[in-house]
Structure 1
Amino acid sequence: MSGLRAHPRFLRVWLGQACGAVGDQLLPVAVSLYVISRGGGVAEVSLVLGARAVALVLCLLVGGVLADRVRRSRVLLGADWFRGALLLATAVALPSLPLLVMPVVVALVAAGEALSRPAFRSMVPTLLPGDMLERGNALVSAAQRSAAVLGALAGAAVVSFVGPRAALFAAGAVFAISGLTVLRLDDTAPAALGRSVLADAAAGVRAMRERPWVLAVMSTASVHLMTGTAAALTLLPLIAHDRLGGDLAYGAVLAAMAIGALPGLALAGRWRPRAKGVASMCVLSGYALVPLSLAVPLPLPVVMACFAIGGFAVEFFFVYWLSALQRGIPGEVLGKVLALDQLGAFALLPVGYLLVGPVVGAVGTGPTLVGAAVVVAATSALCLVVPGVARFADPDTGVDEVAAAGSRG
């Protein structure tokens, strides 16, 4: 942190985006609890979460285009103040709003989130020198994980003790503060791209098709989100309300997942296994504990522990996966591949949210969650069959990370 103090512009933007991240995490928790308090069930909660996922998928590419064509500070300012104004207006009008308006509000806020993500990530290299990027990105990741904890706890606590309107006012306020941090920020507009958006996307797709291990891992992550994540996050607030202790238990379980992610980041940053793909996919199979912990009646501390393991598994996997993409994908198409990776991960999530209700209605809550856990564990293992996945590298290279880093230095 000491070296970053010499770069106040970065810290200023980082602080604002950390505030906005709290709002992003607070809102879906608060709205889900509000929907349940109004008599909503699985279908209504699925609609709220699905609306957020759909908006992220649809707007991420737009956000990437804007980040490459418009001053990024203006993108961040517009996205933050749009979300702040929308939530403050929603809070004022909440008592008279129909319940079906809430998924629309969540979707619009998620659209602002999708616009700001690529703008902020592409702004970091313009705010820090090259030798400080690792420290800066680590601080960004730590802020995001902390925001997940604070947002989940704050959403549940404010709704429980004060009410949903107060939660919406709080979320609107943090977005307003976030926008202030980039007001009058002196940044330059990025250079215009020479190719169309479709041509850029096609280049990224070609790079992925040339590497079956990349497609295999991306597909596995998408299936995990569609099954394990969709089932667990849709049913968690209902199960928390019925048998875990209520709204605060809901926030505590989500916070446990975020807290569990932190040691996953720390371990992956220090340990260098030779077969990074084997280590990553084996650990990722532990994410099956997330839906499995909700399938049977377990005490709240056990459920929290299982969600913490799930958070650990996801972040442990993500560090090695992102590093593998950075090593194995040519620099001229890396940005497009990273964007497509995120889009692919979210693409099936709305489908999963929409399917949870009908599947629960057909087979029941327990079998749905057990089935999701089986899919997560099985696909993690099957992915290792694809050549290249075991080392997270092309089979004919298997470049070691240290050697690759040395050659680039």
Structure 2
Amino acid sequence: MTNAQVTPTRASPLRYPRFLRLWASQTAGAVADQVLPVALSLYVIGRGGGADAVAVILGGRAIALVVCLLVGGILADRVSRPRILMAADVMRAGVVGVALLSFDRLPLTALALVTALSGAAEALSRPAVRSLVPALLPAGLLERGNALVSVVQRSAMLIGALAGAALITGAGLRAALGLAGVMFALGAVFVLGIPDLASPTMQAGVLADAAEGLQAVRRRPWVLAVMAAVSVQLLAGTAPTLILLPLIAQDRLGGGLAYAVVLGCLAVGALPAIALASRWRPSRPGMVSMLALTAYALLPTSLAFALGLPLTAFCFALGGFAVELYFIYWLSALQRTIPAAVLGKALALDQLSAFALLPVGYALTGPAVAVLGAQGTLIAAAVLTAAACVLTLLVPGVSRFSDPPRRADGGLATAADVTGADSTSGW
């Protein structure tokens, strides 16, 4: 940890001015990040594109995240993190500005470059944001600080989704791109002048740097197990859901606005989870998180069985609740467990493991629909998502999101050992 001071959890992280500015910067960037994919997806569909065209738009961002996340993690441990955030926002504002001036002269598939370049900048900044939080706050405020960052990101997700859909419907793509560019620029302004209280480290080389982060993760099998489960969730659950949602929304949920409402409900559902996670400290946060995360299977299930807009929106809200509850406990556990010198790389590997298979999921959705049909694909997505989450609980350490204790003979305690030792303590 970069700041081991323990502060009462009732204190507000917003009392720390540097954290407040980071919080404002993330709010602006989150709005723009959501406006872009929603607006571009609806624009492509409006121009006659289908599932393949939407997959190209969304896949550009996913591929960029995979390619650039590890680079972002290495940079976060070697370069001033606030400078990385400012550069990423300036880059995204510039990309959107160029698109604003030229989108009407580009083929639809070329618009994937906008989401790809924006995703690359986002990938470079993600590890910097998450490793900067423990440098700006005392250890006792990590859950509340992470929760506050999440609440603005989720609220901005709702606002951005609705704004993107409304602007496409009422004013066109030019207005949506203009809003995104302004918000990215504001994000860069807010982060100006924030010092990085953790000293960046310079290692012997980039490959050695990456290997050090990988070693920190490999020493913790429970971390690898959770990363694997989330990878399956994104590959088999998120990818087909996001590809088929705008098409199903147009077909039977009410059109583009319904698409934005359903996406926005992910953010709405996250808000009570953020409030809960910032106050409740279960003794087994991993068990709570992974069991809750099985509710993400409701997203593809709701689309598979044509539940209608109200029930579909409710299922997405429950999925948003589950993901956010997991994420806050998980991120706080990594920030406490991973040494500060390699935290940025470890957080990048966490994100990389999650997103590495997402482009594969996008690519496989079309063939899966051709073989299984849309309903069959979504049912399979739900089953795989739930199973992956439950199976992680067999790995020692997952139930507590911490390194398991060692037996007297020096070996790691098994899941049965840990459960038996704590059977009277409850959650």
TM-score, length basis structure 2: 0.85
Match of 1:105 among 110, 114, 120: 114
Counterpart of 1:167 in structure 2 is 176
Counterpart of 2:4 in structure 1 is none
Instruction: State the secondary structure of the residue aligned to 2:108.
Output: coil
Counterpart of 1:235 in structure 2 is 244
In structure 1, what is the Cα distance between the partners aligned to 2:161 and 2:64?
20
The residue identity in structure 1 corresponding to 2:240 is A
In structure 1, what is the Cα distance between the partners aligned to 2:95 and 2:312?
35
The correspondence of residues 7-406 of structure 1 with structure 2, limited to 5 A, is 7-125=16-134, 127=136, 135-183=144-192, 190-330=199-339, 333-396=342-405
Moved more, 350-359 or 134-143: 134-143
The residue identity in structure 1 corresponding to 2:390 is A
Counterpart of 1:403 in structure 2 is none
In structure 1, what is the Cα distance between the partners aligned to 2:135 and 2:396?
37
Q: 1:182 to 1:268 in 2, by over 3 A?
A: closer
Deviations 1:362-401 (A, max 9, x none): 221110000100111122222222333333344435899x
In structure 1, what is the Cα distance between the partners aligned to 2:16 and 2:320?
31
Instruction: Give 1:310 shift.
Output: 0.6
Moved more, 25-34 or 171-180: 171-180
Q: Which aligned runs of 4 or more in structure 1 are off by greater than 6 angstroms? A: 186-189
Deviations 1:124-153 (A, max 9, x none): 455556666555433222211111111111
In structure 1, what is the Cα distance between the partners aligned to 2:194 and 2:326?
35
Instruction: State the secondary structure of the residue aligned to 1:308.
Output: helix
Q: 1:140 to 1:365 in 2, by over 3 A?
A: same
Q: 1:4 to 1:394 in 2, by over 3 A?
A: closer
The residue identity in structure 2 corresponding to 1:374 is V
Instruction: State the secondary structure of the residue aligned to 1:279.
Output: helix
Deviations 1:83-132 (A, max 9, x none): 11221221222222111111111100111112222333344455556666
Instruction: Give 1:353 shift.
Output: 0.9
In structure 2, what is the Cα distance between the partners aligned to 1:126 and 1:321?
18
The residue identity in structure 2 corresponding to 1:303 is T
In structure 2, what is the Cα distance between the partners aligned to 1:97 and 1:364?
32
Q: Please, which runs of 5 or more residues in structure 2 have no aligned partner? A: 1-9, 407-412, 419-427
Moved more, 1-10 or 114-123: 1-10
Q: 1:325 to 1:12 in 2, by over 3 A?
A: closer
In structure 2, what is the Cα distance between the partners aligned to 1:7 and 1:390?
32
The answer to whether the 8 A contact 2:77-2:343 is kept is no
The answer to whether the 8 A contact 1:72-1:189 is kept is no
Q: Percent identity?
A: 58
In structure 2, what is the Cα distance between the partners aligned to 1:260 and 1:311?
5
In structure 2, what is the Cα distance between the partners aligned to 1:188 and 1:395?
31
Moved more, 31-40 or 124-133: 124-133
In structure 1, what is the Cα distance between the partners aligned to 2:36 and 2:187?
15
Aligned CA RMSD, in angstroms, stands at 2.6
In structure 2, what is the Cα distance between the partners aligned to 1:207 and 1:126?
19
The answer to whether the 8 A contact 2:135-2:198 is kept is no
Counterpart of 1:407 in structure 2 is none
The residue identity in structure 1 corresponding to 2:314 is A
The residue identity in structure 2 corresponding to 1:214 is V
In structure 2, what is the Cα distance between the partners aligned to 1:218 and 1:116?
20
Instruction: Give 1:27 shift.
Output: 0.5
Instruction: Give 1:11 shift.
Output: 2.7
Instruction: Give 1:271 shift.
Output: 3.4
The residue identity in structure 2 corresponding to 1:161 is G
The answer to whether the 8 A contact 2:37-2:115 is kept is yes
